Amino acid sequence: MPANPSSPLQEAFCGHWLSQAVITLHHLDVPGLLQRLAAPSLASLSEAIGADARALWQLLEIAKKLNAVTQEADGHYRLTELGMRLLPEHEDSFIPFLDHLQMGYPAWVGLAHSVQTGKPAFDRVYGTDIYSYLTGNPAQNTFFNRYMAQTTDTWLADAGKHYGFSGRVIDLGGNKGALSAMLLKQFPDLQTTLFDLDQAVKQAPAVLDAAGVAERCRIVAGSFFESASIPGDGDIYLLSRVLLNWNDAKVLEILRNCRLAMPAGSKLLILEIILTENAGLNDYLSSLNLLVMFGARLRTHAEFERLLSVAGFGQLNWIAAGVGENPLFFLDAKPN
Protein backbone atom coordinates (compact mmCIF):
# COMPACT_ATOMS: atom_id res chain seq x y z
CA MET A 1 0.00 0.00 0.00
CA PRO A 2 1.41 3.46 -0.89
CA ALA A 3 2.67 5.54 2.02
CA ASN A 4 0.37 8.38 0.98
CA PRO A 5 -2.98 6.94 -0.11
CA SER A 6 -4.31 8.73 -3.17
CA SER A 7 -7.98 7.76 -3.01
CA PRO A 8 -10.75 7.50 -0.40
CA LEU A 9 -10.69 3.73 -0.89
CA GLN A 10 -6.97 3.56 -0.07
CA GLU A 11 -7.42 5.91 2.89
CA ALA A 12 -10.12 3.61 4.25
CA PHE A 13 -7.68 0.70 4.43
CA CYS A 14 -5.77 2.23 7.33
CA GLY A 15 -8.62 3.98 9.14
CA HIS A 16 -8.32 1.55 12.05
CA TRP A 17 -4.66 2.52 12.48
CA LEU A 18 -5.64 6.09 13.22
CA SER A 19 -8.47 5.29 15.59
CA GLN A 20 -6.26 2.84 17.50
CA ALA A 21 -3.56 5.49 17.80
CA VAL A 22 -6.02 7.83 19.52
CA ILE A 23 -7.40 5.06 21.72
CA THR A 24 -3.82 4.16 22.74
CA LEU A 25 -3.18 7.76 23.78
CA HIS A 26 -6.14 7.35 26.12
CA HIS A 27 -5.13 3.91 27.40
CA LEU A 28 -1.62 5.17 28.23
CA ASP A 29 -3.15 8.19 29.99
CA VAL A 30 -1.12 10.58 27.84
CA PRO A 31 -3.75 13.36 28.01
CA GLY A 32 -3.92 13.02 31.80
CA LEU A 33 -0.14 13.16 32.13
CA LEU A 34 -0.01 16.25 29.93
CA GLN A 35 -2.37 17.87 32.42
CA ARG A 36 -0.62 16.69 35.59
CA LEU A 37 3.08 16.93 34.76
CA ALA A 38 4.88 20.25 34.97
CA ALA A 39 6.31 21.15 31.55
CA PRO A 40 5.95 17.58 30.16
CA SER A 41 8.70 16.57 27.77
CA LEU A 42 9.07 13.44 25.70
CA ALA A 43 11.54 12.12 28.25
CA SER A 44 9.29 12.75 31.27
CA LEU A 45 6.26 11.31 29.51
CA SER A 46 8.18 8.21 28.44
CA GLU A 47 9.46 7.68 31.97
CA ALA A 48 6.01 8.15 33.52
CA ILE A 49 4.41 5.66 31.13
CA GLY A 50 7.33 3.26 30.87
CA ALA A 51 7.17 3.62 27.11
CA ASP A 52 9.59 3.40 24.22
CA ALA A 53 10.44 7.05 23.60
CA ARG A 54 10.50 6.85 19.80
CA ALA A 55 7.18 5.03 19.60
CA LEU A 56 5.59 7.53 21.99
CA TRP A 57 7.04 10.41 19.95
CA GLN A 58 5.26 9.04 16.87
CA LEU A 59 1.96 8.87 18.76
CA LEU A 60 2.44 12.48 19.88
CA GLU A 61 3.21 13.54 16.32
CA ILE A 62 -0.10 11.98 15.22
CA ALA A 63 -1.85 13.81 18.06
CA LYS A 64 -0.27 17.08 16.85
CA LYS A 65 -1.55 16.49 13.31
CA LEU A 66 -5.04 15.89 14.76
CA ASN A 67 -4.80 19.21 16.65
CA ALA A 68 -5.13 17.41 19.99
CA VAL A 69 -1.60 18.25 21.17
CA THR A 70 0.78 21.13 20.51
CA GLN A 71 4.49 21.44 21.19
CA GLU A 72 6.17 24.55 22.53
CA ALA A 73 9.44 25.97 21.23
CA ASP A 74 11.25 24.43 24.21
CA GLY A 75 9.95 20.98 23.27
CA HIS A 76 7.32 20.67 25.99
CA TYR A 77 3.89 19.34 25.05
CA ARG A 78 0.44 20.54 26.04
CA LEU A 79 -3.15 19.67 25.21
CA THR A 80 -5.07 21.90 22.86
CA GLU A 81 -8.68 22.88 23.56
CA LEU A 82 -9.75 19.96 21.36
CA GLY A 83 -7.30 17.63 23.11
CA MET A 84 -8.87 18.48 26.47
CA ARG A 85 -11.83 16.39 25.31
CA LEU A 86 -9.60 13.32 25.60
CA LEU A 87 -9.76 13.74 29.40
CA PRO A 88 -12.43 11.42 30.90
CA GLU A 89 -13.55 14.09 33.37
CA HIS A 90 -14.17 16.72 30.67
CA GLU A 91 -17.86 17.57 30.41
CA ASP A 92 -17.84 16.96 26.65
CA SER A 93 -15.27 14.15 26.73
CA PHE A 94 -14.64 11.93 23.72
CA ILE A 95 -13.87 9.01 26.01
CA PRO A 96 -17.41 7.53 26.25
CA PHE A 97 -17.48 7.33 22.46
CA LEU A 98 -13.95 5.92 22.31
CA ASP A 99 -14.92 3.32 24.89
CA HIS A 100 -17.95 2.33 22.80
CA LEU A 101 -15.75 2.18 19.70
CA GLN A 102 -13.19 0.00 21.45
CA MET A 103 -15.90 -2.38 22.64
CA GLY A 104 -17.03 -2.76 19.04
CA TYR A 105 -13.65 -3.54 17.46
CA PRO A 106 -13.75 -7.32 18.02
CA ALA A 107 -17.34 -7.40 16.77
CA TRP A 108 -16.51 -5.49 13.60
CA VAL A 109 -14.00 -8.19 12.68
CA GLY A 110 -17.12 -10.36 12.31
CA LEU A 111 -18.88 -7.96 9.92
CA ALA A 112 -19.04 -10.66 7.23
CA HIS A 113 -21.02 -12.87 9.64
CA SER A 114 -23.50 -10.03 10.22
CA VAL A 115 -23.85 -9.30 6.51
CA GLN A 116 -24.43 -12.96 5.72
CA THR A 117 -26.87 -13.67 8.55
CA GLY A 118 -28.39 -10.31 9.52
CA LYS A 119 -27.40 -11.09 13.12
CA PRO A 120 -25.09 -9.19 15.48
CA ALA A 121 -21.46 -10.25 15.37
CA PHE A 122 -21.18 -8.86 18.92
CA ASP A 123 -23.14 -11.83 20.31
CA ARG A 124 -20.91 -14.30 18.50
CA VAL A 125 -17.68 -12.65 19.68
CA TYR A 126 -18.68 -11.91 23.29
CA GLY A 127 -20.96 -14.89 23.85
CA THR A 128 -23.87 -12.67 24.90
CA ASP A 129 -25.92 -9.74 23.63
CA ILE A 130 -24.73 -6.18 24.20
CA TYR A 131 -27.36 -5.35 26.85
CA SER A 132 -26.45 -8.39 28.95
CA TYR A 133 -22.79 -7.57 28.51
CA LEU A 134 -23.30 -4.00 29.73
CA THR A 135 -25.34 -5.21 32.70
CA GLY A 136 -22.44 -7.44 33.72
CA ASN A 137 -19.84 -4.70 33.23
CA PRO A 138 -20.95 -1.68 35.29
CA ALA A 139 -17.98 0.53 34.35
CA GLN A 140 -18.62 -0.07 30.65
CA ASN A 141 -22.33 0.54 31.21
CA THR A 142 -21.60 3.88 32.87
CA PHE A 143 -19.58 5.02 29.85
CA PHE A 144 -22.29 3.76 27.49
CA ASN A 145 -25.00 5.68 29.35
CA ARG A 146 -22.80 8.76 29.36
CA TYR A 147 -22.28 8.38 25.61
CA MET A 148 -26.04 8.16 25.08
CA ALA A 149 -26.56 11.28 27.21
CA GLN A 150 -23.91 13.14 25.21
CA THR A 151 -25.50 12.23 21.88
CA THR A 152 -28.86 13.36 23.26
CA ASP A 153 -27.36 16.75 24.04
CA THR A 154 -25.65 16.95 20.64
CA TRP A 155 -28.33 15.57 18.30
CA LEU A 156 -31.57 16.42 20.05
CA ALA A 157 -30.89 19.85 21.54
CA ASP A 158 -33.15 21.58 19.00
CA ALA A 159 -35.71 18.79 18.59
CA GLY A 160 -38.22 20.56 20.84
CA LYS A 161 -38.32 23.46 18.41
CA HIS A 162 -39.94 21.19 15.83
CA TYR A 163 -42.67 19.64 17.95
CA GLY A 164 -45.09 21.07 20.51
CA PHE A 165 -44.92 18.78 23.54
CA SER A 166 -47.76 18.92 26.05
CA GLY A 167 -49.49 16.84 28.70
CA ARG A 168 -47.59 13.82 30.01
CA VAL A 169 -44.84 12.25 27.91
CA ILE A 170 -43.90 8.64 28.57
CA ASP A 171 -40.19 8.61 27.69
CA LEU A 172 -39.84 4.96 26.68
CA GLY A 173 -36.31 3.59 26.88
CA GLY A 174 -35.25 6.98 28.23
CA ASN A 175 -32.06 5.67 29.87
CA LYS A 176 -30.93 8.01 32.64
CA GLY A 177 -33.27 10.84 31.66
CA ALA A 178 -31.21 13.22 29.54
CA LEU A 179 -34.01 13.72 27.00
CA SER A 180 -36.72 14.04 29.66
CA ALA A 181 -34.64 16.68 31.42
CA MET A 182 -34.11 18.56 28.18
CA LEU A 183 -37.82 18.55 27.27
CA LEU A 184 -38.92 19.55 30.77
CA LYS A 185 -36.61 22.56 30.64
CA GLN A 186 -37.94 23.55 27.21
CA PHE A 187 -41.63 23.08 28.11
CA PRO A 188 -42.38 24.42 31.63
CA ASP A 189 -45.90 22.89 31.79
CA LEU A 190 -44.82 19.43 30.62
CA GLN A 191 -44.85 16.30 32.79
CA THR A 192 -42.82 13.21 31.91
CA THR A 193 -42.51 9.60 33.00
CA LEU A 194 -39.05 8.15 32.51
CA PHE A 195 -39.40 4.46 31.67
CA ASP A 196 -36.53 2.03 31.25
CA LEU A 197 -34.81 -0.96 32.82
CA ASP A 198 -33.80 -0.60 36.45
CA GLN A 199 -30.05 -0.42 35.74
CA ALA A 200 -30.67 2.56 33.45
CA VAL A 201 -33.15 4.65 35.45
CA LYS A 202 -31.28 4.30 38.74
CA GLN A 203 -28.88 6.95 37.40
CA ALA A 204 -31.73 9.33 36.54
CA PRO A 205 -32.30 11.19 39.86
CA ALA A 206 -28.91 12.92 39.66
CA VAL A 207 -29.55 13.99 36.05
CA LEU A 208 -33.04 15.31 36.80
CA ASP A 209 -31.93 17.05 39.99
CA ALA A 210 -29.06 18.76 38.19
CA ALA A 211 -31.51 20.06 35.57
CA GLY A 212 -33.92 21.28 38.27
CA VAL A 213 -36.84 19.29 36.86
CA ALA A 214 -37.05 16.25 39.16
CA GLU A 215 -40.46 17.22 40.58
CA ARG A 216 -42.04 16.98 37.10
CA CYS A 217 -40.60 13.59 36.15
CA ARG A 218 -41.84 10.29 37.51
CA ILE A 219 -39.43 7.36 37.26
CA VAL A 220 -40.77 3.89 36.45
CA ALA A 221 -38.59 0.79 35.97
CA GLY A 222 -39.85 -1.73 33.45
CA SER A 223 -39.45 -3.19 29.98
CA PHE A 224 -41.24 -2.25 26.78
CA PHE A 225 -41.20 -5.96 26.01
CA GLU A 226 -43.76 -6.34 28.81
CA SER A 227 -46.88 -4.37 27.92
CA ALA A 228 -48.26 -4.59 31.46
CA SER A 229 -45.26 -2.66 32.83
CA ILE A 230 -45.69 0.30 30.44
CA PRO A 231 -47.49 3.22 32.16
CA GLY A 232 -51.03 3.64 30.91
CA ASP A 233 -51.57 7.35 31.63
CA GLY A 234 -49.59 9.09 28.90
CA ASP A 235 -50.65 11.62 26.31
CA ILE A 236 -47.53 11.08 24.20
CA TYR A 237 -45.56 7.82 24.09
CA LEU A 238 -42.08 8.81 22.96
CA LEU A 239 -39.55 6.41 21.45
CA SER A 240 -36.40 8.42 20.82
CA ARG A 241 -33.55 6.56 19.08
CA VAL A 242 -34.84 3.31 20.53
CA LEU A 243 -36.11 1.35 17.56
CA LEU A 244 -32.82 1.62 15.66
CA ASN A 245 -31.32 -0.74 18.25
CA TRP A 246 -33.72 -3.61 17.45
CA ASN A 247 -34.49 -5.85 14.49
CA ASP A 248 -37.90 -5.77 12.79
CA ALA A 249 -39.41 -8.56 14.89
CA LYS A 250 -38.46 -6.82 18.13
CA VAL A 251 -39.63 -3.44 16.81
CA LEU A 252 -43.04 -4.91 16.05
CA GLU A 253 -43.17 -6.35 19.57
CA ILE A 254 -42.32 -2.95 21.07
CA LEU A 255 -44.89 -1.13 18.92
CA ARG A 256 -47.66 -3.62 19.70
CA ASN A 257 -46.92 -3.44 23.42
CA CYS A 258 -47.10 0.34 23.28
CA ARG A 259 -50.42 0.14 21.46
CA LEU A 260 -51.80 -2.16 24.19
CA ALA A 261 -50.71 0.23 26.94
CA MET A 262 -51.81 3.49 25.32
CA PRO A 263 -55.08 5.04 26.56
CA ALA A 264 -57.71 6.44 24.20
CA GLY A 265 -56.70 9.76 22.70
CA SER A 266 -52.97 9.29 23.17
CA LYS A 267 -50.44 9.13 20.38
CA LEU A 268 -47.12 7.51 19.60
CA LEU A 269 -44.17 9.75 18.75
CA ILE A 270 -41.02 8.28 17.24
CA LEU A 271 -37.86 10.36 16.98
CA GLU A 272 -35.29 8.65 14.79
CA ILE A 273 -32.38 9.09 12.44
CA ILE A 274 -33.71 8.21 9.00
CA LEU A 275 -31.74 6.65 6.17
CA THR A 276 -32.68 9.05 3.38
CA GLU A 277 -31.97 8.89 -0.32
CA ASN A 278 -29.18 11.42 0.29
CA ALA A 279 -27.46 9.24 2.90
CA GLY A 280 -23.69 9.59 3.07
CA LEU A 281 -20.83 7.26 3.93
CA ASN A 282 -21.16 7.84 7.69
CA ASP A 283 -24.87 7.01 7.58
CA TYR A 284 -24.21 3.61 6.03
CA LEU A 285 -21.32 2.94 8.41
CA SER A 286 -23.56 3.85 11.35
CA SER A 287 -26.22 1.50 10.06
CA LEU A 288 -23.71 -1.34 9.73
CA ASN A 289 -22.48 -0.62 13.26
CA LEU A 290 -26.05 -1.08 14.51
CA LEU A 291 -26.13 -4.41 12.67
CA VAL A 292 -22.81 -5.58 14.11
CA MET A 293 -23.57 -4.47 17.68
CA PHE A 294 -27.35 -4.92 17.96
CA GLY A 295 -28.54 -6.82 14.90
CA ALA A 296 -30.44 -3.70 13.87
CA ARG A 297 -30.08 -0.85 11.36
CA LEU A 298 -31.11 2.63 10.33
CA ARG A 299 -34.45 2.57 8.47
CA THR A 300 -36.03 4.49 5.62
CA HIS A 301 -39.34 6.32 5.83
CA ALA A 302 -41.04 3.48 3.95
CA GLU A 303 -39.66 0.82 6.31
CA PHE A 304 -41.01 2.66 9.35
CA GLU A 305 -44.40 3.15 7.75
CA ARG A 306 -44.65 -0.56 6.97
CA LEU A 307 -43.79 -1.56 10.54
CA LEU A 308 -46.30 0.88 12.04
CA SER A 309 -49.03 -0.30 9.71
CA VAL A 310 -48.43 -3.94 10.69
CA ALA A 311 -48.42 -2.94 14.39
CA GLY A 312 -51.83 -1.24 14.07
CA PHE A 313 -50.94 2.45 13.80
CA GLY A 314 -52.18 4.98 11.26
CA GLN A 315 -52.57 8.72 10.63
CA LEU A 316 -48.82 9.02 10.17
CA ASN A 317 -47.25 12.46 10.10
CA TRP A 318 -43.55 13.05 9.37
CA ILE A 319 -41.90 16.18 10.79
CA ALA A 320 -38.27 17.09 10.09
CA ALA A 321 -36.41 17.67 13.37
CA GLY A 322 -33.03 18.81 12.16
CA VAL A 323 -31.46 17.82 8.86
CA GLY A 324 -27.71 17.55 9.03
CA GLU A 325 -25.13 14.80 9.03
CA ASN A 326 -27.75 12.61 10.75
CA PRO A 327 -31.25 13.55 9.47
CA LEU A 328 -33.71 13.42 12.38
CA PHE A 329 -37.46 13.07 11.97
CA PHE A 330 -40.47 12.92 14.25
CA LEU A 331 -43.10 10.39 13.24
CA ASP A 332 -46.47 11.10 14.85
CA ALA A 333 -48.88 8.14 14.79
CA LYS A 334 -52.17 7.07 16.38
CA PRO A 335 -53.56 3.61 17.08
CA ASN A 336 -56.09 2.44 14.48
Domain with CATH 3.40.50.150 in the chain: 130-335
Q: Any bridge partners for residue 305, and if so which?
A: none
Alpha helices in the chain (DSSP H): 8-13, 15-27, 30-36, 42-49, 53-65, 95-108, 111-117, 121-126, 130-136, 138-155, 178-186, 198-201, 204-211, 248-261, 281-294, 301-311
Quote the CA–CA distance of 247 and 164 in Å, as a whole number: 30
Return the bridge partners of 77, or none: 71
Q: What is the mean pLDDT of the chain?
A: 91
8-86 CATH fold:
Arc Repressor Mutant, subunit A (1.10.10)
pLDDT at 261 over 90: yes
Start-end of CATH 1.10.10.10 domains in the chain: 8-86
The predicted model gives 47-67 an average pLDDT of 97
Is 301's pLDDT higher than 90?
A: yes
Give 251 or 154, the one with higher predicted confidence.
251
Helices 15-27 & 53-65 angle (0-180, nearest 10): 110
**CA-atom Rg of the chain in angstroms:** 22
Which of 117-126, 141-150, 252-261, 285-294 bottoms out in mean pLDDT, i.e. has the lowest? 141-150
- CATH class of the domain whose range is 130-335: alpha beta
Q: For the chain, first and last CA: distance in Å?
A: 58
Tell me the pTM: 0.85
